Amino acid sequence: MEKLLDIRNLRTYFYTEDGVVPAVDGVSFYIKPGETLGVVGESGCGKSVTSISTLRLVPNPPGKIMEGSEIIFEGTDLLKLSEAEMRKIRGNKISMIFQEPMTSLNPVFRIGDQIAEVLLLHQGLNKAEAREKAIEMLKLVGIPRPEKVVDDYPHSLSGGMRQRVMIAMALACNPRLLIADEPTTALDVTVQAQILDLMNDLKKKVNAAVMLITHNLGVVAESCDRVVVMYAGKVVEEGDVYSIFEDPKHPYTVGLLKSMPSAVGGQDKLDSIPGVVPNPLNLPKGCRFAPRCNKAMDICREKQPGLTVLGEERTVRCFLYNREDGVK
Is 95 among the residues that bind another protein (CB under 8 A)? yes
Is 153 among the residues that bind another protein (CB under 8 A)? yes
Which residue lies nearer to another protein by CB, 72 or 121?
A: 121
Is 76 among the residues that bind another protein (CB under 8 A)? no
Residues in CB range of 228: below 8 A, 6 or more apart: 29, 37, 38, 39, 40, 235, 237, 238
Q: What distance in Å separates the CA atoms of residue 171 and residue 168, rounded to the nearest whole number?
A: 5
Is 195 among the residues that bind another protein (CB under 8 A)? no
Is 53 among the residues that bind another protein (CB under 8 A)? no
CB of 197 to another protein, least distance (A): 23
Assign 3-state DSSP to the chain and report helix, strand, coil percentages, each to 5.
35, 25, 40
Torsion angle of the four alpha carbons 19, 180, 220, 269, in this order, in degrees rounded to the nearest 10 = 60
Is 169 among the residues that bind another protein (CB under 8 A)? yes
Which region among 9-17, 153-161, 216-224, 293-301 touches another protein (by CB under 8 A)?
153-161
Which region among 91-99, 251-259, 265-273, 303-311 touches another protein (by CB under 8 A)?
91-99
User: How many of the other CB atoms lie within 10 Å of CB of 298?
Assistant: 10
What count of Cα atoms within 13 Å lies in the side-chain half-sphere of residue 181? 19
Is 174 among the residues that bind another protein (CB under 8 A)? no
Q: What distance in Å separates the CA atoms of residue 225 and residue 77, rounded to the nearest whole number?
A: 25
Using the rule CB under 8 A, which residue among 148, 205, 285, 295 binds another protein?
148
3-state SS class at 136: helix
CB of 195 to another protein, least distance (A): 17
Which residue lies nearer to another protein by CB, 100 or 225?
A: 100
Are residues 258 and 248 in contact, defined by beta-carbon separation less than 8 angstroms? no
Across the chain, which distance is largest between two alpha carbons, in Å? 67
Strand partners, 230: 235
CB of 112 to another protein, least distance (A): 13
Using the rule CB under 8 A, which residue among 8, 64, 90, 215 binds another protein?
90
Whole-angstrom CA distances from 316 to 139, 302, 319 are 43, 18, 9
Residue 228's φ and ψ, nearest 5 degrees, are -120, 125
User: How many of the other CB atoms lie within 10 Å of CB of 317?
Assistant: 25
Is 98 among the residues that bind another protein (CB under 8 A)? yes
Using the rule CB under 8 A, which residue among 5, 7, 58, 118 binds another protein?
118
Using the rule CB under 8 A, which residue among 17, 43, 61, 190 binds another protein?
61
Which residue lies nearer to another protein by CB, 138 or 287?
A: 138
Using the rule CB under 8 A, which residue among 42, 70, 74, 100 binds another protein?
100
Which residue lies nearer to another protein by CB, 110 or 215?
A: 110
User: How many of the other CB atoms lie within 10 Å of CB of 138?
Assistant: 24
Using the rule CB under 8 A, which residue among 75, 107, 265, 311 binds another protein?
107
| DSSP 8-state secondary structure symbol assigned to residue 154 | G
Is 74 among the residues that bind another protein (CB under 8 A)? no
Burial degree of 90 (CB within 10 A; 0-12, 13-18, 19+): middle
Strand partners, 36: 210
Number of residues that bind another protein (CB under 8 A): 34
Using the rule CB under 8 A, which residue among 104, 253, 304, 315 binds another protein?
104
Binding site for another protein (CB under 8 A): 55, 57, 61, 86-92, 95-96, 98, 100, 103-109, 117-118, 121-122, 145, 148-149, 152-153, 155-156, 166, 169
